[in-house]
Amino acid sequence: MQANSILKNTAVVGAMTALSRVLGLVREMFQSRLVGAGVEQSAFSLAFAIPNMMRKLFGEGALTAAFVPVFKGEVEAGRMDSARRLARAVMTMSVLMLAAASALAIAGLSAALNWAPALSERTALTLRLTRILVPYMVFICGSAFGMGVLNALGKFAAASLVPCLLNVVWIATLGALCFFPGMPIAVRVMWVSGAILLAGALQMAFMFRCMARRGVSPRPSFAGWRDANTRLVWRNMLVAAVGAGAVQINYMLDQVLAQAASPWAAGVIGYAERLMDLPLGIVGVAFGTVLLPTFSGFFAKDDVDGARKAFLSSTDKLLFVMVPAAVGVGVLAPDMTQVIYEGKAFDATATMRVSRAVACYAAGLGFFGLQKTLVPWFQAQKDMKTPLSVSVKMVFLNATLNILAVWLLPVEWRHVGLAASTVLCAGVACVCLAMCARHKNGSLGLRALLRPVGRTLAASAAMGWAVVAARSKLIALTSARGWDGAAANVARLATLVVLGGAAYFAMQFLLGRLSRKGR
C-alpha cells in the first residue's frame, strides 16, 4: 500500500472518527449537565470501564491484533476460503466465551447486591451499573471483530462509522431525560447504561451485516477450531491479552487510585480523557487502524523497506497534527472545558479541576499518537511479546508514580498527578518500542524525521505564543464591552482556534520556504 493510499484510508477513518468524536462531545455536554462530576459520574465511569476493558482485551485490542495479521496473510495469498473459515471459527469462539463470562459476572454481581453486608451508596450504585453494562462487552467485542475483518479487507468507512451508533443512542437518551428534571441523578445514569447496552446490540448487528456483504458470513461455525491458523491466532491473542491486560491494569489502577484521591477524581479524569479523545481519535486511532493491516500486508510479502517507508510517512503526518493539537489544547484547556462541559450540575469548580487534567494530558498527545503507530509494527509481524514486555514495565512505573501522586500531592492536584503519570509512561513506552523495533528490523530511519518534526515544533511554539497573546486581548475586549455568557465563550474559543490554525500553517509555510532556500 503506497503512502497516498495510507493517507486516503486514514482520511476516511479520520473523517468518520471525527464525526463520532463530535457526537461524543455533544454527548458529554449533555452528560455533564445532567449528571455532573460527582459521585454518580464516578460510579458510572468505573462501571463503564469494565466492559471497555474487555473490549480492549478481546475486541479491538488483543484479538484484533492477533487475528488481522493471520487473516491478512491468507487474503494476500489468495486463500479466501481459508480466510473465511478462520474468521467464522474465531468469531464463534470469542462470542461464546464472552457470553459465558458475562453470565457469570451478572450472577456474581447479583449475589453481591443481595447478600453482601451493607454497602455504601456509591458502591451499590457501581455494582448495579456494572450489572447492566456487563453484557455490552459481548456486543462491542463482536462489533470490534467485524471491524477487524473489514479493515483487513481494506474497507474502513463502515467500520469507522460504528461508534456513531453508540453516540446517537446515548444522545437521544440524554435528550429524553431532559424532560424529567426531577429524576434523581442515580436513576439517570441507570437509564444511560441501558441505552449503551441497546447501542451495543445495534453496533454488532450492523457490523455482522457489513461482514456478510463482503463475503464473510457471521453465522456461527464449529468448523476450523483446530486449524493451524486458528491455533496461531489464539496463541498470539493470549500473549497480546496479557499485554493489553497490563494496559488495562494501569487504567483500572488509575480509576481505583482516583477514587482514593477524592470522591470526584474518577469522574473528573473521565471527562478529561474523553476531551482528549477528539484529537487522538481523529488522528492517532485513524493511523493505528489503517497501519495494522497495512504493515501486515508488507510483512506478509517480506517487504520491510515498504513497511519502514509507510511508518515514516505516517509518523510525519501524525506529528504534523498532534504536536500543534497538544499545544493548542494545553493553552486553551480552561476555555474548552468551560464551553463543552460547564452548566447546571457541572460548576466552575468542576471546570477548573477538569481543565487542569486536560492541560496535563495534552502534553502527551504526541506520545499517545506514536504508540498507535509503533505497536502495530510488532503486531503485524505476529510479535506480541515485545509490546507485552514494554506494557508490563509501564505497569510498575505507572503504579509507582500514581501512588506517589496520591500520597504526596494536595487533594486538588492528585488527579493531575495521575494524568502526568500516564503521560510520562507513554513517553517512556515510545522510546522502548522504538529501540526494540531497531533491534528487530534495523534502523527505522527516524533521522529523516528530524527536519520536518523540528519545523512542526517551531511552528507549534509560535502558534502557542500567538494564541496566548490573543486570548488575553480577547478576554479584555469582551469584558470591556460587557459580552458574557455561553455565546461569548463559544465565539472567543472559535476565534482562538481559527487564529491558532492560521498561525501554525503560516509558520509551517514560512519555515518550509526557508528550509528549501537553505539547501
Instruction: Name the band, by pLDDT with cuts 50, 70 and 90, for residue 383.
Output: confident
> Are 290 and 9 contacting, i.e. CB atoms less than 8 angstroms apart?
yes
Query: Nearest-CA neighbor of 88 among 207, 214, 204, 216?
Result: 216
Q: How far apart, in whole angstroms, are the C-alpha atoms of residue 110 and residue 45?
A: 20
C-alpha separations of 137 from 53, 93, 163, 221, 501 in Å: 9, 14, 14, 21, 39
Say if residue 7's pLDDT is above 60: yes
Over residues 334-353, mean pLDDT:
85
Alpha-helical regions (H) of 134-282: 136-152, 157-177, 185-213, 228-261, 265-279
Report the pLDDT averaged over residues 431-453: 91
What is the model's pLDDT at position 125?
87
The backbone region for 473, taken as left when phi is positive above 0, alpha when psi lies in -120 to 50, beta otherwise, is alpha
- Give the whole-angstrom CA distance, residue 352 versus residue 147: 38
pTM summary value:
0.74
Residue 413 has pLDDT above 60, yes or no: yes
β partners of residue 346? 343
CB atoms within 10 A of CB 14: 24
Q: Which long-range contacts (CB under 8 A, 24 or more apart) does 170-174 make?
A: 170/27, 170/195, 170/196, 170/199, 171/23, 171/26, 171/27, 171/30, 174/27, 174/30, 174/31, 174/34
Q: Residues 350-361: what's their mean pLDDT?
A: 91
Contact predicate 292/65, CB 8 Å: yes
The predicted pLDDT at position 57 comes to 65
Q: Is the pLDDT of residue 1 over 60?
A: no
Asked whether residue 22 carries a pLDDT value surpassing 90, the answer given is: no
pLDDT digits (tens, 9 = 90+) for 452-467: 999 999 999 999 999 9
The mean pLDDT value of the chain amounts to 85
As a three-state string, the secondary structure of 20-40 is: HHHHHHHHHHHHHHHCCCCHH
Please check the confidence at residue 59 and state whether its pLDDT lies above 70: no
The crossing angle, in degrees rounded to 10, of helices 3-34 and 304-341 is: 20
Q: What is the pLDDT of residue 4?
A: 59
The reported pLDDT for the residue numbered 382 is 84
Q: What digits encode the pLDDT tens for the residues 111-149? A: 888 876 677 777 888 889 999 999 998 998 888 888 888
Look at residue 325 in the predicted model and tell me its pLDDT: 92
Question: Residues 457-516: pLDDT tens digits?
Answer: 999 999 999 999 998 888 888 777 777 777 888 888 999 999 999 999 999 989 887 776
Give me the percent of the chain exceeding a pLDDT of 70. 93
Q: Looking at per-residue confidence, does 262 or 71 come out higher?
A: 71
- Separation CA 141–CA 198 (nearest Å): 14
